[in-house]
Amino acid sequence: MLNYDLVIIGGGPAGLAAAISAKDNGIDSILILERDKELGGILNQCIHNGFGLHTFKEELTGPEYAERFIKEVLGRKIEYKLNTMVMDLGKDKTVTAMNREDGLIQIKAKAVILAMGCRERSRGALNIPGFRPAGIYSAGTAQRLVNREGFMPGKEVVILGSGDIGLIMARRMTLEGAKVKVVAELMPYSGGLKRNIVQCLDDFGIPLKLRHTVVDIEGRDRVKAVTIAEVDENNKPIKGTEERYECDTLLLSCGLLPENELSRSAGVDLSPVTSGPIVNDSLETNIPGIFACGNVLHVHDLVDYVSKESTTAGENAAKYILSFNENDSPDRVVKINTENGVRYSVPAFVRPDKMADNLTVRFRVGNVYKNVNLCVYANDTLLQKLPKKIMAPGEMEQIILIKNKLNEVSDLNTITIKIEEA
């Protein structure tokens, strides 16, 4: 059995930022475990730019952004193991992993940071019966094939779902000579960023059809054509609105889902809304010493926020390791309620006595809201009212909770974040 103060599962942007910050906060015994053959996570296949605008004030591509963090990790001589798959995580923070050189390894950690990222929602999104010919890919798989393997999956493409990866791939495949015929989106709004609609669809005249879904796929061995139709308010296809597109490829871009099999096996409580762990203001799960950050916690559209969040997780894990005392009494916690269109918040709980002076709370809304107020209440007292011109489900929002303000409220028992009419 190996012993480390801190084991970080996943060497993507979340794991890297968490490792750097834990080291800078006084932890020397750190091990990053990554199942891939390189550090950097999914960013290695995201070759488009737009990363790091907030952190570095310049527009980087995914691999360039990752490289900045990898350099910092190497510079600090933080240990990592590649090609190493974590198989199990125990309540007692025993990590079981496997690789070719060491075989099965067991590591006892004082603290663990979950940074496993997310995976794409699968074909279940495709709600039509029948067999599946070749030529159907998730957008992320297509991204890896084109950008890393140098292989174009097809020439004529229909995309279902308007998440950012789908939009980015519409442009990428167009640039490589494919004809992207249409992007169909079930919802009345796109799940992707505005800038991606402009740069990836409008620039190339690719139509985006909202409230549309795929109703038929033709082809025995390979996709030959895809039919889409408009849907009614119950998301049922409307007869007579069918449009048939000849194509050899169908990309599915139907959102991302945090990857939490390991968390579950450790007994970490997961949120039914985000599918990620439920955490307090230090990003600690219900199991003391197990922290989470990045896409495993909740799906981020901006890697800058992943890095920020993960820096916080690293710092808090360091604090936990350095000050852990079994005899400490449990902390006082207050729940954050989310109402009126606010779907969830990360964190879901705060410790009013121990929280940061200015705590960033991140969340998403469930619909498109225009000219509304975003309000924060402590019990029934209105603490903050922020006018918002627009809020959309595709974009993560954040507010800052101020410790002093919260603690001025007597008998604080709930914090509520909600949207109100302006």
Partner 1 sequence: METRELNCIVCPMGCPITVTLENGEVTSVTGNTCPRGEKYAKQEVVAPIRSVTSTVKVLGGEWPTVACKTKTEIPKGKIFEVMDALKGVSVDAPVNIGDVIIENVAGTNVNIIATSNVKAC
Ligand X SMILES: Cc1cc2nc3c(=O)[nH]c(=O)nc-3n(C[C@H](O)[C@H](O)[C@H](O)COP(=O)(O)OP(=O)(O)OC[C@H]3O[C@@H](n4cnc5c(N)ncnc54)[C@H](O)[C@@H]3O)c2cc1C
Determine the interface stretch with ligand X among 12-20, 128-136, 174-182, 322-330 (rule: CB under 6 A). 12-20
In contact, 145 and 124? CB cutoff 8 Å: no
Regarding 86 and contact with ligand X (CB under 6 A), the answer is yes
Give me the least distance between CB of 191 and ligand X, in Å please.
Answer: 12
Partner whose binding site includes residue 386, from partner 1, ligand X, none (CB under 5 to 8 Å by kind): none
In contact, 9 and 15? CB cutoff 8 Å: yes
Regarding 208 and contact with partner 1 (CB under 8 A), the answer is no
Regarding 198 and contact with partner 1 (CB under 8 A), the answer is yes
Which residues within the stretch 293-332 sit at the binding site for partner 1 (CB under 8 A)? Answer: 301-302
State residue 405 phi and psi, 5-degree precision.
-60, -45
Written as six digits, the tokens of 42 are 């999914």
- Cβ within 8 Å of residue 3, ≥6 positions away: 29, 107, 108, 109
Regarding 360 and contact with partner 1 (CB under 8 A), the answer is no
Partner whose binding site includes residue 193, from ligand X, partner 1, none (CB under 5 to 8 Å by kind): partner 1
Regarding 230 and contact with ligand X (CB under 6 A), the answer is no
- Binding pattern to partner 1, positions 120-159, x when CB under 8 A? --------------------------xxxxx---------
Partner whose binding site includes residue 373, from partner 1, ligand X, none (CB under 5 to 8 Å by kind): none
For residue 206, what are the CA distances in angstroms to 135, 156, 365? 20, 12, 27
- Which CB sits closer to partner 1, 173 or 217? 173
Task: Return the SS3 of 347.
Answer: coil
Give me the least distance between CB of 126 and ligand X, in Å please.
Answer: 17
- Sole binder of partner 1 in the list 132, 155, 195, 222 (CB under 8 A): 195
Written as six digits, the tokens of 97 are 């992993």
d(CA 350, CA 251) in angstroms, rounded, equals 40
- In the chain, how long is the greatest CA-to-CA distance? 69
Determine the interface stretch with ligand X among 164-172, 225-233, 242-250, 277-285 (rule: CB under 6 A). 164-172
For residue 93, what are the CA distances in angstroms to 4, 57, 369? 11, 38, 42
Q: What's the burial of 210, exposed, middle or buried (CB within 10 Å: 0-12/13-18/19+)?
A: middle
Amino acid, res. 98: M
Contacts made by residues 126-132, CB under 8 angstroms, sequence distance 24+: 126/160, 126/214, 126/252, 127/213, 128/214, 128/215, 128/216, 128/217, 130/217, 131/220, 132/217
Report CA 174 to chain centroid distance, whole Å. 26
Regarding 11 and contact with ligand X (CB under 6 A), the answer is yes
Determine the interface stretch with partner 1 among 154-162, 188-196, 262-270, 353-361 (rule: CB under 8 A). 188-196
- Binding pattern to partner 1, positions 88-127, x when CB under 8 A? ----------------------------------------
d(CA 157, CA 216) in angstroms, rounded, equals 15
- Sole binder of partner 1 in the list 175, 238, 386, 400 (CB under 8 A): 175
Task: Return the SS3 of 16.
Answer: helix
d(CA 414, CA 234) in angstroms, rounded, equals 35
Which residues within the stretch 49-68 sit at the binding site for partner 1 (CB under 8 A)? Answer: 49-50, 53, 59-61, 63-64, 67
- Where do the H-state alpha helices sit in 85-138? none
State residue 10 phi and psi, 5-degree precision.
110, 125
Give me the least distance between CB of 194 and partner 1, in Å please.
Answer: 3
Partner whose binding site includes residue 35, from partner 1, ligand X, none (CB under 5 to 8 Å by kind): ligand X
Partner whose binding site includes residue 55, from ligand X, partner 1, none (CB under 5 to 8 Å by kind): none
Give me the least distance between CB of 117 and ligand X, in Å please.
Answer: 2
- Interface with ligand X (CB under 6 A): 9-15, 33-36, 41-43, 46, 85-86, 115-118, 120, 140, 143, 164-165, 168, 256, 259, 262, 294-296, 300-303, 306
